[in-house]
Structure formats: structure tokens, C-alpha cells
Amino acid sequence: MFVLYSTFYVEFIAINVVSPKIMGSNIGGLNLAVIYGMGLIVFALMLALVYNAICTAAEEELNTPDTGKEK
């Protein structure tokens, strides 16, 4: 999951460096920069939630709180 997020983050930097004009292009009422930036924030939260769900499930399965950390 970390790799997934890093990729998303690196892509954001790459677009900015390689062709900054794309960031100004419109998508609906907003531009890509705003949507991507907000996206990075929301995506971080989503990943954290998924991560929590996986860990919690693992914990319940093993029924000992500590082993959930092995995930």
C-alpha cells in the first residue's frame, strides 16, 4: 500500500516537473492541480482506513491484539 501511495505521489511530482501546463487543464469546474492535490489527501485517508480494516480483521481472526501488527 505504501508503494501504491508513493507511486501516486511521485506521479504528482513528475507531472509538475515534466509538463506543468497539464496541471492547469480543466476537469469540470476545477483544474487538475486542485483535484489531484485533494485526491492525494483523500487517498491517504482511504488507504489508512483500508489498512485499519485489514489489521482489525487479522486481529479478530487470531484473537490476540498484538499479532495484528504482523500484517
Binding site for another protein (CB under 8 A): 1-2, 5, 9, 12-13, 16-17, 20-21, 23-24, 29-34, 37-38, 40-42, 44-45, 47-49, 51-52, 55-56, 59, 65-66, 68-70
For the bound state, the minimum distance from the C-beta of residue 61 to another protein, rounded and expressed in Å, comes to 13
Measured distance CA(13)–CA(33) in Å, rounded: 11
Q: Which residue in this structure is represented by grid cell 486481529?
A: 59
Q: Are 6 and 43 in contact (CB under 8 A)?
A: no
For the bound state, the minimum distance from the C-beta of residue 4 to another protein, rounded and expressed in Å, comes to 10
β-sheet bridge partners, residue 4: none
